[in-house]
Structure 1
């Protein structure tokens, strides 16, 4: 497998702050979450996967649209916080998993990869994309959303992630939004 930011990197962040990216209070996050939900249209999902759920803020917004939602994160502190936040939602399971090695068993009608794939290098991103494609149900969708501003910390930049996804997927692009702060692509299995 390729290089990535390892779970311990995220554990350190969550030790220093219970919400290191201000998911609960950031205007940027609220705008991005709203646009992500809008991109899904009025579709309801039988079974969905959220990769990199963190403390579960977006998970709580996505849950009403899903019969079953599996939310995963590699950081134990984040998983504990997400479980507390979502404890009253019987349709949501929050699991500690490292992707792509510990990919939950599909199929999924929706996979959300929001601000996670740039933590992987090119090879690991492509392996993760293959696992996502294999786990999608016929007609399923992959929603990818990533920060576009430059960073020196992550192996890839957000625009690099989306370029690699589009160049290497069998899925068809259904929607795209390139805002100054983030990029969103909704890809669909037409198979």
Structure 2
């Protein structure tokens, strides 16, 4: 079963920063690694579904001309919007993934701690949405917790295995730790050095 929105709403009702993103070094480091893994220096249009309170959003905003960040919980959206208010190219809005996936094209999609919440049907819709909205030169960055969580429909490793099945995507980077896995998938199979003409 896809994790119900009420689960997230209860968490945010109890604590405006339920995963301690604002104070925990683990998450600050993971967000920095995620942003640094993005292959290109600059993107025309980025999308971050499940943005939570916008800690990663603020880092991604530095790399995108336009960035759309979406979360299902209104209070999280309000916090994220306040956090990125100084970035005129960023839009933060409420939406439930994968059903409210925007009808837009993006050259960067960042899936941070999101994919394992979906059951098989919603996961299939998510993967279809990623494939359908990713630009011909687009990149997907995914990062997920690897330890078991009762509310997750699947593990982080299973989430990444599913992403690896999306037609036309090539894995160009993988960073693995006991706690999380971070991968970059791209329409462009070239490494970052090849993109820069170094090899």
| TM-score normalized with structure 1 length | 0.94
Can you give the 5+ residue segments of structure 2 that lack an aligned partner in the other structure?
190-199
Aligned counterpart for 1:87 among listed residues 71, 85, 88: 85
2:22 aligned partner? 24
| TM-score normalized with structure 2 length | 0.90
- Indicate yes or no: 2:110 matched with 1:112: yes
CA contact 2:50–2:70 (8 Å) conserved in 1:
yes
Equivalent-residue separation in structure 2 for 1:140 and 1:169 (angstroms)? 13
Distance of aligned partners of 1:62 and 1:168 in 2 relative to their CA distance in 1, 3 Å threshold: closer
1:75-97: CA deviation from partner (whole Å, max 9, x where unpaired): 11111111111222211000101
1:53 aligned partner? 51
Equivalent-residue separation in structure 2 for 1:187 and 1:62 (angstroms)? 17
Aligned counterpart for 2:136 among listed residues 127, 135, 138: 138
Equivalent-residue separation in structure 2 for 1:43 and 1:129 (angstroms)? 25
1:162 aligned partner? 160
Aligned counterpart for 2:42 among listed residues 23, 44, 56: 44
The CA deviation at 1:121 is 1.3
CA RMSD of aligned residues (A): 1.4
Aligned counterpart for 2:151 among listed residues 135, 140, 153: 153
Count of aligned pairs between the two proteins:
189
Distance of aligned partners of 1:21 and 1:169 in 2 relative to their CA distance in 1, 3 Å threshold: farther
Aligned counterpart for 2:121 among listed residues 113, 120, 123: 123
CA contact 2:131–2:166 (8 Å) conserved in 1:
no
Equivalent-residue separation in structure 1 for 2:151 and 2:81 (angstroms)? 28
Query: Structure 1 runs of 4+ off > 4 angstroms?
Result: none
Equivalent-residue separation in structure 1 for 2:81 and 2:20 (angstroms)? 18
Which stretch has the larger CA shift, 89-98 or 159-168?
A: 159-168
Can you give the 5+ residue segments of structure 1 that lack an aligned partner in the other structure?
none
